[in-house]
Chain A
């Protein structure tokens, strides 16, 4: 009997240990960096923010026990979060701290919460509504946010479309000319950070022709907005006569732009091709893979391989990392799906060295191993997908995962 009990107990224990281990991964970083897992199992953790006192905020895309924002606090400063506060009854992606306020977005609305001198939220149940009534048609609906130093908030409004065809994602369907989606989406809108209940009428379309920006950050060094854009899908599947399987996996580029007021990224009429280094006319608008177009559109600073999904952008301001990282850009790539049957790509954090707002060297993979696989063929098996980035006041870098709700802290020691 005792033996039977022991066998059963072992079986239970072992199942538990296997189940736990199955989600663990080893994160590879350059020499001198170390990574620890600081948060687990909060589900769909999208963007994150770290306050000056060390509080870590998570914005969730699926409610956990009815709440969409989590604040984790380490009250006794032992490096482990021991206090969890859950609030906000809405899902979403965007979260940011600025001038004593916490800003958070649903897929239609931007809210803010006032923080007191002890960095506590004064009224967690009654945030102020800053922006409301934004387009949410399910596709590309997340509203990423960032703030400048002049009292403005920038909101991405992704285009609910692949490439503005008459019939979305329909092979052979023509692109609409002009694309009507651009009136209310496919760009960045600027609002006042402290004015209540603004909608499109009170906002400014700051930049257009950006299909779906998920990563964005204000660069204090040059005082400009920078964004990372998810490029279009289906070049090979819809135009096999123009693109082979490999070209369709590699193109179009995922892009990083510096954005000035009034800029146009060219979507849906053109896409960036990092191999030809040109703005190529979309085949839905008469392109053949070679013809260029949209001369008015700006060019990206970096073109990455296709479909890797840059979900977060962060300019590193701290002093903890070696000097080459200062003012450089970290980008969290969520990982692709539109490269199949080629292996999927991404699922890592990239670093772009920058000087005065321009890349000063080639991009490199900074942190890798999140997916748990050397090569990803099966998306369903992927363990973690990088989605958010934040910098702690000590200069550590935080990376979130919206698959299993993990957060890692990456630090450097000489």
Chain B
């Protein structure tokens, strides 16, 4: 019995180790956690359907900002944005506040949620990637 427990622990550790090494995320779990973060911090401006607000707050549906360069996306959440943002010929004028107060895990989860909701399908984002972007400043 004891031997079996040790075996389980070893296997489990190996799995955790592998996940940590490859940076893979359990997308489903991350999306579920990310939805809660989205509801609390993002929904007011970007709306429940990710459609944003015309001319004010940009949409998150199938846009290059969401589906493209992960680093740029992570940095918008970390640093906020007050640059002109144009999507499909439409300019969005409201500034976005920095959300650096969220943890690496929360940012990874919410971005994984956004990249896999509102018609989007893209790879997840890991806490390690957020940590890396945060360290760069």
Contact B44 A234 (CB under 8 A): yes
- Chain A residue nearest to B42 in the complex (CB): A237
Across-interface contacts of B43 in A (CB, < 8 A):
340-341
Contact B54 A377, beta carbon cutoff 8 Å: no
Q: Is B53 part of the contact surface with A, judged by Cβ < 8 Å?
A: yes
Q: Please classify how large the interface on chain A is, using the bins under 10, 10 to 19, 20 to 34, 35 or more.
A: 20 to 34
A378-B80 contact in complex given A170-B97, A234-B44, C-beta closer than 8 Å? no
Secondary structure at the B interface, as helix, strand, loop or mixed, is loop
- Quick check: A139 and B94 within 8 Å, CB to CB? yes
Instruction: Tell me the nearest residue of chain B to A173, going by C-beta.
Output: B97
| A169: B residues at CB distance < 8 A | 94-97
Interface assignment of A371: CB less than 8 Å from any CB of chain B: no
Contact flags A36-71 to B (C-beta < 8 A → 1, else 0) = 000000000000000000000000010000000000
Query: Is B27's CB within 8 Å of the partner chain A?
Result: no
Per the CB 8 Å criterion, the residue count for chain B at the interface is 27
Cross-interface CB contact of B54 among A170, A172, A234, A380, cutoff 8 Å: A380
In the complex where A138-B84, A338-B44, A341-B48 touch, is A380 in contact with B97 (Cβ < 8 A)? no
Question: Is A170 touching B44 in the complex (CB atoms < 8 A)?
Answer: no
A379 near B94: Cβ-Cβ < 8 Å = no
Encode B51-63 as 1/0 by CB contact (under 8 A) with A: 1111111010000
Tell me the smallest distance from the CB of A47 to a CB of chain B, in Å: 16
Q: Across the interface, do A139 and B53 meet the contact criterion of CB distance under 8 Å?
A: no
Whether the Cβ atoms of B96 and A337 lie closer than 8 Å is no
Contacts A378-B47, A380-B49; is A337 near B57 (CB within 8 Å)? yes
Q: State in angstroms the CA–CA spacing of A175 and B13 once bound together.
A: 49
Residues of B within 8 A of A139 (CB): 93-95
Judge whether B95 and A168 touch: CB under 8 Å: yes
Supposing A138-B84, A380-B54 touch, asked if A168 and B97 sit within 8 A by C-beta, the answer is yes
Closest Cβ of chain A to B42, distance in Å, is: 10
Known: A337-B57, A378-B49, A379-B53. A237 touches B44 (CB 8 A): yes
Which chain B residues have a beta carbon within 8 Å of chain A's beta carbons?
39, 41, 43-45, 47-49, 51-57, 59, 80, 82, 84, 91, 93-98, 101
Among residues of B, the one whose C-beta sits closest to the C-beta of A338 is: B44
Q: Is the CB of A379 within 8 A of B51?
A: yes
Interface residues of A (CB under 8 A from B): 61, 138-139, 141, 167-173, 233-234, 236-237, 337-338, 340-341, 377-380, 403
Q: How many Å from the CB of B120 to the closest CB on chain A?
A: 15
Measured between C-beta atoms, what is the minimum distance from A175 to chain B in Å?
14
**Chain A residues whose C-beta falls within 8 Å of the C-beta of B45 in the assembled complex:** 337
- CB-CB under 8 A from B98, the residues of chain A are 167, 170
Cβ A141 vs Cβ B93 within 8 A: yes
Which of A141, A172, A234, A380 meets B59, CB within 8 Å? A380
Report chain B residues within 8 Å CB of A340: 43-44, 47-48
Instruction: Kindly state the separation between the CA atoms of A38 and B41 in the bound complex, as whole angstroms.
Output: 42
Contacts of B93 in A (CB 8 A): 138-139, 141
Give B24 Cβ to nearest chain A Cβ, in Å. 32
- Across the interface, B56 reaches (CB within 8 A) one of A170, A236, A337, namely A337
Distance A377 CA – B91 CA, assembled complex (angstroms): 22
State A340–B94 Cα separation when bound (angstroms): 17
Chain A neighbourhood of B94, CB < 8 A: 139, 169
**CB of A343, distance to nearest CB on chain B (Å):** 11
